[in-house]
Amino acid sequence: MKRTATRLADGRELIYFDRRDDVDRSAADERSLPPRPAPSQLRHDPLLDEWVAIASHRQDRTFLPSTNDCPLCPSSPGHLTEVPSPDYEVAVFENRFPSYGPAGTDMPSGRCEVVCFSSDHNASFASLPPAQVQTVLEAWADRTRELSALPGVEQVFCFENRGEAIGVTLSHPHGQIYAYPFVAPRTRQMLDVARNYPGDLYADVLAAERKQGERVVASNDLWTAFVPRAPRYPYELHIFPHRPMPDLTVLDQDDREAFGDLYLDVLGKLDRLFGFPLPYVSAWHQAPVNRDRDIAWLHLELFSIQRAPGKLKFLAGSESAMGAFVNDVSPEEAAERLRTA
């Protein structure tokens, strides 16, 4: 894997990931960009013991540009973008409008990066060839390793939001990485439960789902994708490796290849479910950088708010105000529909 690091016109880091060694990534960013925004503010909520980022500069971020104005496409004459190269395989760069950071400030405030999965504006993760998926996995592992080493970073979160219904503002196939200066609330809750469980919680959940089988959607020798017994969303999947590992950095070649095959299968099922690209959130749960790495178990959570054609699940009063979810689709029915999609 060839890794090429460079800088954009305003000093942000850009990294290309390529399977070929003979590619030229020397094109410079010729844009005239304004200075980088001031760091977002982190404010503590004493009632919930949670941190909230105040990032007012994000009000001015790019919103649903036309294909001709896409800032994630490769640069071309008359259209200079965030990626100066005229082509690329996978590109990762610091977000111009970060929710956390930017890095390099006196106080640890995290960092946000954009991961472009392909130079093809009309592609999707589901349409990537298996070799390209391996490049994305290499990029995720690289960024997890590098960001975990930054001062003040406590957790690295790799994720993809897909579809305008989810809130995506750029349609080019991409994901993001947040390097949090704290451990995320959901992770803290899961680790607290695992710590107090009399045994290995994740291993027992995985074993029970594989033995029972009714909610398993896809599996191979190294990974299993299943609908959890108590899903919060109409179509929700958890993808677990069959052995415990803290984060993406420890995946070996067999792990990556097996995951890629299964993940492409699952994404294809989601898109065939209703006959159109399903909006979704795909979220990697990784261990914190400095705590509980012995009890965390890397896994992917994938869910959609689409409950039927033309019908979305909105988080209303019970979900938004109280965190108490109500799901209109039974997990067994969802698993059966996905298996046969």
- Does the fold of domain 186-340 match that of domain 2-182? yes
Residue 60 pLDDT: 85
First to last CA, the chain: 35
Q: Is 285 annotated as a binding residue?
A: no
- pLDDT tens sequence across 97-127: 999 987 555 556 799 999 999 999 999 999 9
Answer for the pair 160, 133: CB distance below 8 angstroms, yes or no: no
- What are the boundaries of each domain within the chain? 2-182, 186-340
More confident residue, 223 or 104: 223
Could you tell me how many helices (H) and strands (E) the chain has, helices first?
6, 15
Q: What percent of the chain has pLDDT over 90?
A: 94
121 is in an annotated binding site: yes
- State how far Cα 121 lies from the chain centre: 18
**Which of the residues are catalytic?**
174
CA nearest to 299, candidates 197, 214, 223, 192: 223
Note the pLDDT tens digit of each residue in 28-59.
999 999 999 888 899 999 999 999 999 998 99
79 is in an annotated binding site: no
Which CATH topology does 186-340 take?
Answer: HIT family, subunit A (3.30.428)
What CATH number should be reported for the domain whose range is 2-182?
3.30.428.10
The response to whether 73 counts as a known ligand-binding position is yes
Query: Model's pTM, two decimal places?
Result: 0.97
Distance CA 155, CA 212 (A): 33
Q: Is 174 helix (H, G, I), strand (E, B) or coil?
A: strand
Cα torsion for 244, 248, 249, 254, to the nearest 10°?
70
